[in-house]
Amino acid sequence: MPMVAGKVALVTGAGAGIGRATALKFAAEGAKVVVSDVNVEGGEETVAMIGKIGGEAIFVRADVSSSKEVEHLIIKTVEAYGRLDCACNNAGVEGKIAPLADQPDDNFDLIMGVNAKGTFLCLKAEIAQMLKNGGGVIVNLASVAGLIGFPGLSPYVASKHAVNGLTKNAALEYAKQGIRVNSICPGGIDTRMLDSLAEQSTGGAQSTHEMMDPLHPIGRIGTPEEVAELIVWLCSPRASFVTGANIPVDGGYVAQ
């Protein structure tokens, strides 16, 4: 039986990468999907891809750093499908690589605004709706940078540590009301974001795979689809005793 049959799932940042793979996996496992992104073209393309595999989805544009846009996103979700059962707060940005003393203030504000505040605002709105439903499941996208430090990425590291902290607190506050909240902490995953970080780090002297594959004990970076498998499992009844966890999916990176 499909893992999330009959459920309504929301995925932010679903216009590409992990978000797109997660939206497709939700659809393949029986959920109706609300695809959200600031990139309209990418989001609509994800909806079309879901349609091609026989799934059902709508696109709602939303900037997760705006409380009004997040609230509108939840309203449109309920208007379309009547409820919200599962949410994956995936939208995020990586920003610029530089030592902390050289980090521009606006880079910090951008990263914290999308990654930390955006997760906070989505949690607020999603939990409020799930309380009306009688429960639900939320998965936040953190990073191995939410577990350990990375020189040159202080704003990003701070934002992802914040995501893990918000996850733990929300899980504790709403466990008795039937809402589970977890975060996952991907290592290097084959996405545009990782390509950007590799380009900034090496100036194009090395490809993403040349730079990142050897850093992972498993010998390679991961795929968005591998991350999506974990996200949808966490949202399913199969993970009914899992809440408040910050789970690495990183090919052994943080075990080193």
Residues marked active site are found at 156
Pairing between β-strand 136-141 and β-strand 179-186 as defined by DSSP bridges: parallel
Residue 184 near residue 231, CB atoms below 8 Å: yes
DSSP reduced 3-state for 57: strand
**Residue burial 61-95, b: 16+ Cβ < 10 Å; e: rest:** bbbbbeeebbeebbebbeeebeebbbbbbbbbbbb
First CA to last CA across the chain, in angstroms? 37
Rounded to an integer, what distance in angstroms lies between the CA atom of residue 115 and that of residue 163?
7
Rounded to an integer, what distance in angstroms lies between the CA atom of residue 86 and that of residue 29?
12
Rounded to an integer, what distance in angstroms lies between the CA atom of residue 5 and that of residue 85?
11
Sequence-distant contacts of 161-164: CB under 8 A, at least 24 apart: 162/112, 162/115, 162/116, 162/119, 163/115, 163/116, 163/119, 164/140, 164/246
